[in-house]
Amino acid sequence: MQLRGKVLAIKEVQVISDKFKKQEVILKQEGVEYDSDIPIEFIQDKGIELVRGLKVGQSYEIDINVSGREWKDRHFVSLKAWKVNGIDGGEQEVPLEYEEVTKSSIKDSDMPF
């Protein structure tokens, strides 16, 4: 799946545990009927490396995977980026080799919400 839009904010890196860290980018979606500010996660070192090339105010196409999970009887959706294309043609890509963190690898107390 791909989202297209302008970067509104680049958040600080969040270290969730010694095995998991992420950085969030807020994208104002373009080309849609209703404006949407979408939080996109960049996971582990390879994902976070992609964020270094992003600039607030610039437009990008970001390829994402949609994932969901249940935690304490609540359900959450995550948008995880793996490729970024600048609208002007520049490309940055993260291979899908980074370790996916599963529900069993994170203790309840480590959850960020």
Residue-level pLDDT at 103: 45
Q: What is the tens place of the pLDDT at every residue in 10-55?
A: 999 999 999 999 999 999 998 888 889 999 999 999 999 999 989 9
Mean pLDDT score of the chain, rounded to an integer? 83
Instruction: Tell me what pLDDT residue 99 has.
Output: 43
**Rg of the chain over all Cα atoms, to the nearest angstrom:** 14
CA dihedral 4, 67, 38, 105 (to 10 degrees): -130
Query: pTM here?
Result: 0.74
Q: What is the pLDDT of residues 51-88, one digit of tens each?
A: 998 999 999 999 999 999 999 999 999 999 999 988 86
Residue 49 vs residue 113, higher pLDDT: 49
For the chain, domain boundaries: 2-110
Q: Which CATH superfamily is domain 2-110 in?
A: Nucleic acid-binding proteins (2.40.50.140)
Which pLDDT score, from 0 to 100, does residue 14 have? 95
**By three-state DSSP, how is residue 47 classified?**
helix
Structure confidence at residue 92 (pLDDT) = 55
